[in-house]
Amino acid sequence: MPEVRIVLVGPKFEGNVGAVARSMANFDIDELYLVEPCELGDDAYRRAKHGADILDRAVKVGSIDEAVEGCFLVVGTSGITTKGDRNYTRMPIPVREFAQHVSGYSEKVALVFGREDIGLFQEELNRCDILITVPTSERYPVLNLSHAATLAMYEMFQAGNITRRAEPADRKEKDLMFSFFDELMDAIEYPEHRREDTSIMFRRMMGRSIPTKYEYNTIMGVFGDAFRIIKNGKKWE
């Protein structure tokens, strides 16, 4: 499976952090980043069991940007799924589907989990390339933090024996593609009030598809030609 980093944003209960560390040890994941966490004490280590060394090495940071630095794909988690094609900021895919999709990639993937009571803020969700969810009953859809993390890690671990041949575009290439998309919106004078939402939608779409390097180069070629034609006022040659 890809190299996985677990990111917990604003965890409020040390026992949950310890339980996540224990599950990380079960599934051979050892990178834990904590964004403005609660204090970790005896309860965290008691719940961690053989994952205590993961707690010892956990990196505490002040923002989600710091926590996901260096990761190829930033994957947010949500227990809430909104219906309708226009609600793309909260349209997660099932974790099993995601795990099978990225299986065989060697790049680092950040799995980001929100607070126990309110999850991830909208601006934090906007930072994610893709959202995933663990399918549950509609009567009670929200899982405990440590349970959700465990199920996500299990699915990633199980899908690890499936290989993919095509090499994906890396983080630097994807960031360049997103910047180029924003420049293209500028060039066509896309309505200012719709740009942020459209930019997020494009990021999510690319996050779901995980473009290969060949696909990236093709898309960038089209963007580049379109940008030059628009700027120079020329027709396609």
Domain chopping of the chain, boundaries: 3-161, 171-232
Rg (CA), the chain: 19
Q: What is the mean pLDDT of each run of 10 residues along the chain (237 residues)?
A: 93 97 96 97 96 97 96 88 56 90 86 95 92 91 93 92 68 89 89 91 85 88 86 62
pLDDT on residue 88: 54
Q: Quick one: 26 exposed, middle or buried, by C-beta within 10 A (0-12, 13-18, 19+)?
A: middle
Q: Quick one: 229 exposed, middle or buried, by C-beta within 10 A (0-12, 13-18, 19+)?
A: middle
How far is 77 from 175, CA to CA, in rounded Å? 21
- Closest alpha carbon to 68 in 162, 168, 175: 175
| pTM for the whole structure | 0.71
pLDDT on residue 89: 56
Q: How far are the Cα atoms of 59, 74, 123, 169, 203 from residue 176, in angstroms, in the given order? A: 28, 16, 21, 11, 12
pLDDT on residue 165: 53
* Helix, strand, coil in percent for the chain, rounding step 5: 50, 15, 35
pLDDT on residue 236: 46
Ramachandran angles phi, psi of 147, nearest 5°: -70, -45
Ramachandran angles phi, psi of 214, nearest 5°: -65, -45
Pairing status of strand 108-113 against strand 93-94: unpaired
Would you state the structure tokens that stand for residue 171, as one six-digit string?
């983080």
Superfamily of domain 3-161: SPOUT methyltransferase, trefoil knot domain (3.40.1280.10)
How far is 122 from 41, CA to CA, in rounded Å? 30
Pairing status of strand 130-133 against strand 93-94: parallel
pLDDT on residue 199: 92
Q: What is the 3-state secondary structure (H, E, C) of 159-192?
A: HHHCCCCCCECCHHHHHHHHHHHHHHHHHCCCCH
pLDDT on residue 147: 96
pLDDT on residue 130: 92
